[in-house]
Amino acid sequence: MEAVLDAAFFRRWLTRVTAVVEREATALTELDSAIGDADHGSNMRRGFDAASAAVDSEPPDTPGGVLTAVGRQLISKVGGASGPLYGTALRRAGRALGGEPRVSAEQLRDALGAAVDGVRDLGGAAVGDKTMLDALVPAVEAYGAALERGADLAGALDAAAAAARDGAEATIGLRARKGRASYLGERSVGHQDPGATSTSLLVAALADTAREAS
């Protein structure tokens, strides 16, 4: 059975992401310690804990509502670079999904595109700058391409997750041009970007949520 993209789906995704971030927080902080300031794990954990708590206490009844609420929490609880960037990404995605109780795989594609635009507009980074965009952009592209090829939601999200993971890994070879890691110049090469890594976790959680439902 094909997964249904309703509010419950995105709440399950949120629960999963919160658990994954909890589990991976130390690893994310470790990555951030090599080329940043050793806080990405705690930032993500603080944000998703707050988002889970907010959504649990006042559950929105649309997919857009869930994503917007998560985005708002990330903005007002995280700080740092990742807080406003992820927060804006999710708010834009939520806004793109509008007030519908269920959305289609195609609508999700557009929402993901809006998320990319949000990160680009606010942070001014491009693909190749060694940021979360290096996982997010390939993920969104792979998702769209898979849908084009006729994949179902779970299949397309699997493609997205694989692309995100590859994108995150490929940041190892990149020299950072945005964010804190850019201060290191050449010395940023050889380390995986923490934000790209957390993005790949968020996308993998989407795929897992879809697979679990189908």
Partner 1 sequence: MKMLINVPETVVSDALRGLAAAHPELTVDVQNRLVVRRDAPVADKVGVVSGGGSGHEPLHGGYVGMGMLDAACPGEVFTSPVPDQMARATAAVHSGAGVLHIVKNYTGDVLNFKLAAELAEDEGIDVRQVLVDDDVAVTDSTHTAGRRGTGATLFVEKVAGALAEAGAPLDRVAATARKVNECSRSFGVALSACTTPAKGSPTFDLPPGELELGVGIHGEPGRERRGMMTAQEIADVALDAILEDLPPGGPVLLLVNGMGGTPLLELYGFSSHVQRILGQRHVGVARTLVGNYVTSLDMAGASVTLCRADEELLRLWDAPVRTPGLRWGC
Considering only residues 21, 24, 28, 32, which one is a binding residue for Mg ion as defined by CB under 5 A?
Answer: 32
Using CB distances below 5 to 8 A depending on partner kind, what does residue 34 bind out of Mg ion, partner 1, ligand ADP, none? partner 1
Pairing mode, if any, of strands 5-6 and 102-103? antiparallel
76 binds partner 1 (CB under 8 A): yes
Considering only residues 64, 80, 94, 123, which one is a binding residue for Mg ion as defined by CB under 5 A?
Answer: 80
40 binds Mg ion (CB under 5 A): yes
Using CB distances below 5 to 8 A depending on partner kind, what does residue 29 bind out of partner 1, ligand ADP, Mg ion, none? partner 1
Using CB distances below 5 to 8 A depending on partner kind, what does residue 182 bind out of ligand ADP, partner 1, Mg ion, none? partner 1
12 binds Mg ion (CB under 5 A): no
Q: How far is the CB of 114 from partner 1 (least distance, A)?
A: 17
Interface with ligand ADP (CB under 6 A): 32, 36-37, 39-40, 43, 80-82, 85, 119, 123-125, 131-133, 178-180, 193-196
46 binds partner 1 (CB under 8 A): yes
d(CA 48, CA 111): 20
165 binds Mg ion (CB under 5 A): no
d(CA 179, CA 73): 22
Q: How far is the CB of 212 from partner 1 (least distance, A)?
A: 31
d(CA 193, CA 169): 8
Stretch that binds partner 1, among 93-101, 106-114, 140-148, 174-182 (CB under 8 A): 174-182
User: Tokens 């006042």 label which residue?
Assistant: 58
* For ligand ADP, the closer CB: 31 or 67: 31
Q: Is the dihedral of CA 152, 131, 84, 14 positive or negative?
A: positive
| Cα–Cα–Cα angle for 210, 83, 175, rounded to 5 degrees | 90
38 binds partner 1 (CB under 8 A): yes
Positions touching partner 1 (CB under 8 A) are 29, 33-39, 41-43, 46, 75-85, 122-123, 175-180, 182-185, 187
